[in-house]
Amino acid sequence: MKINWGTGIVIAFGLFMTFILYFVFEVQSNSKYDNDLVVEEYYKHDSHFQEEMKRIQDAHDLQQKPTVQFIEQGVKIVFPATFDADKIKGNVLLYRASNKKFDFNTPIALNNWGLLIPKNKLIKGQWKVDIEWQYEGKKYLTKEVIYVN
């Protein structure tokens, strides 16, 4: 049986469509490929976007800002010495864009001007750190990205 070039193109196109449909079905049905949104209740979160941007800008305008860094023991968050540690309230959200099962919140409880999140709570890879804090009634939001080795 002889196949001309037109028939070959139709067969190749049909095989390609079959492969794509199989791949889409596999990704949608297999729980290994988690297709969750980054944020639960996306539209509710989006309605507070302007307020969030104001808190980020307020934190950016500070002369001295909190620092976030990965050290041997874990993630170290240090607030400037100009702030009274007893007046800083809030929490720290660490989340993985790749898997929401690893996300967690930690309340801010400072000792020696810092907060240490132990390394054993973290897995290797990229983490997004959101520090939602307030000082003397003014709210701030600091966002950082760290890499855990």
- pLDDT at position 38 is 59
CATH number for domain 42-148, candidates 3.40.50, 2.60.40, 1.10.20, 1.10.287: 2.60.40
Q: Look at residue 36 in the predicted model and tell me its pLDDT.
A: 60
- pLDDT at position 80, please? 83
Confidence at residue 39, expressed as pLDDT on a 0 to 100 scale: 61
How far apart are alpha carbons 45 and 53 in whole angstroms?
A: 12
pLDDT at 42: 65
Q: CB count, 10 Å around CB of 74?
A: 15
Q: Which stretches of the chain score pLDDT less than 50?
A: none
